[in-house]
Chains A and B, each alone.
Chain A
Amino acid sequence: MYVWIWRHLPGNAWVKALVSVVLVLAVVYVLFQYVFPWAEPLLPFNDVTVDDSLPTPATEWR
């Protein structure tokens, strides 16, 4: 998979390395900005309130 991506990147090794770094940063950005905030309420790690309703996240929205 990664070898395949590496082969399809343009330029010589240095350009490929640079493009790779940019790609990695872009992926991390998308994860932190969109994917993790979306996934977090679905995971049972951070519910802090007591509640008598079903254990759904975000019991109250403003």
Chain B
Amino acid sequence: MAGTEELTDGAPRRRGRTRSRIAATVGVVGEVLITAGVLLALFVVYSLWWTNVIADREAKRQGAHVRENWARKGPGALDTKDGVGFLHVPAMGKGEVLVKPGTGSSVLNEGVAGYYRKPVKATLPWEGPGNLTLAAHRDGHGAKFHNIHKIKDGDPVVFETRDTWYVYTVYKELKETSRYNVKVLDPVPRESGKTVPGRYLTLTTCTPIYTSDYRYVVWAELTRTEKVDEKRTPPKELRG
């Protein structure tokens, strides 16, 4: 057909070529858009699923390593080499979170909770009065603080070290605060209503879920400690 058209007149052929060039351009633009869409979808899959797979695997490995070390030596002196302990928050669901020093992404991306070393250094519970400040991911990378919004006043938060269970009770939640609000990490967190030194615990993560526009903060205060026995029997707060 095209051949006969060309014989009689060149114009239709040229018009056809222009049209096919436009079609090709539209096609390429469409393909680029589809590719971008697929890329973004893949990134969501990566962020919300794959990083959890990687982080949980890593956290489990490191946690098992710490437990193994503890078991080999039995309850005894503090051992902070691989991790300082485990955090148990029944309100956030079953399971334990390994606690390690530092809050850089290289630490937190291992699916652990990190205690702050800056801008305000955390006080570890055996060091006396102060604030044990922790951070962990809300989504992705293990999402260890995903359910932080389920924590209510009066809920127990238990920090387990090699030889002691530190049982804290939640007394205040700050559901939204600025990312620059480092005052929440103070040894005496005044924003939570406290004015005298005590043994506090602060959990920080990002909020709302899936973004990090703000920070979510939960404060708890030490209510009692319990020695770890031979069988590592958990305190009654974790048995229910």
Of B91-99, B100-108, B154-162, B164-172, the segment with at least 4 beta carbons within 8 Å of chain A is: B100-108
Chain A nearest Cβ from B172, distance in angstroms: 16
- Is A2 among interface residues, defined by CB-CB distance under 8 A? yes
**Interface size in chain B (residues, C-beta < 8 A):** 47
Residues of chain A within 8 A (CB-CB) of B137 are 46, 48
Chain A, 21-62, CB within 8 A of any chain B CB = 28, 31-32, 36, 39-41, 44-53, 55, 57-62
Looking at chain A, what size class is its interface with the partner chain?
Answer: 20 to 34
> Contacting chain A: which of B61-69, B81-89, B138-146, B219-227?
B138-146
Report whether A48 and B119 are in contact in the complex, using a CB–CB cutoff of 8 Å.
no
For residue B138, which residues in chain A have a CB less than 8 angstroms away from its CB?
A: 46, 48
List of B residues within 8 angstroms of A31 by Cβ: 39, 42-43, 46
Most chain B beta-carbon neighbours within 10 Å: one of A2, A31, A36, A44: A36
Query: How many residue pairs between the two chains, A and B, have CB atoms under 8 Å in the bound complex?
Result: 98
B4 close to A (CB within 8 Å): no
Judging by beta carbons under 8 Å apart, are B211 and A48 in contact?
A: no
B116 touches A (CB below 8 Å): yes
- Residue numbers in A under 8 Å from B211 (CB-CB): 44-45
Counting CB contacts under 8 A, is A1 at the interface? yes
Residue of B nearest to A3 (CB): B27
9-residue interface stretch from B11-19, B72-80, B175-183, B228-236? B175-183
Q: Interface on chain A toward B: helix, strand, loop, or mixed SS?
A: loop
Select the stretch in B124-132, B192-200, B202-210 that faces chain A: B202-210
New A-B contacts (20) at CB < 8 Å, excluding given A47-B206, A50-B215? A31-B43, A31-B46, A32-B50, A36-B43, A39-B43, A44-B211, A46-B140, A47-B179, A48-B136, A48-B138, A48-B215, A49-B116, A50-B184, A51-B119, A51-B179, A51-B182, A52-B182, A60-B102, A60-B104, A62-B102
A-B interface, 7 closest residue pairs, ranked by CB to CB distance from nearest: A60-B104, A47-B212, A36-B46, A49-B135, A48-B206, A58-B105, A48-B205
Q: Tell me the B residues contacting A by CB distance below 8 Å.
A: 27-28, 31-32, 39, 42-43, 46-47, 50-51, 101-108, 116-119, 135-141, 145, 177-182, 184-185, 204-206, 210-212, 215, 217
